[in-house]
Amino acid sequence: FSPSDRRDLAMPMLQAAVDLSARGDLEGSVSLFEQASTVVSPLPREALLEWAALLVRLKRFREAVAPLERALEQDPSSGEAHFRLGCCLFKEHNYEAALGSLQKAVELAPKNAQAYERIGMILDKQGKSEEAIAAMKKATELDASNIRYHQQLGFLFEAAGRHQDAV
C-alpha cells in the first residue's frame, strides 16, 4: 500500500476509536489506536495526544509515554505535549525526566500553573525546598483560586521551617 492508501485505511479506525471513547469504551478505543498505529506511521499529532489521554485515563502512564514522545517528534514546540509527558513520567516516579519535560512545558507555555505545581512537587522530593517554594508560588500566582496550590505552598513552607510564611 502507498502512504496515501495507508492513511485512508487508518482514518476510519481513528474515527472509530474516538467514537468508542465517547461511548465510554476506553479499552476498545485504545485497541483501535494501537491498530491504526501499525497501519500508518506516524499517526497525526492530535490522534497521538488523544491516544495518550485515553491511556492516562486508564492509569497506564508508562504506555502513554510513547505516543506523547511521537507527538513531540512531530511538534517539539507543543507545551501541552511536554506537560502531559512530564505528568506521565511523574506518575512513573521518573522525576528527573519529568522535571525536564515540565520545565520545557513552562518555557513554551509560561502560564501553565499545573506544570509549576508538579515542578514544585518534584523539587521538594529532591530536597530543593527553596526552589520548590518558588515554583509553587508561581503556581499560586497563576491560579490564585486553586486551594490545593495554596495548601501545597503552606506544606512546603512548614517543611522548610518557615512557619511564619505558612500562615
pLDDT in tens, 74-128: 999 999 999 999 999 999 999 999 999 999 999 999 999 999 999 999 999 999 9
Residue whose entry in the numeric block shows the C-alpha cell 508538579:
118
Q: What is the mean pLDDT of residues 44-61?
A: 96
pLDDT band at 1 (very low <50, low <70, confident <90, very high): low
Q: What is the mean pLDDT of residues 32-36?
A: 93
pLDDT at 49: 96
pLDDT at 74: 95
pLDDT at 11: 87
pLDDT at 66: 96
Q: Which of 18, 43, 39 is nearest to 29 (CA)?
A: 18
Q: In b/e form, how buried is each residue of 37-67, taking b as 16+ CB within 10 angstroms?
A: bebbeebbbebbbbbbbbbbeeebbebbbeb
pLDDT at 25: 96
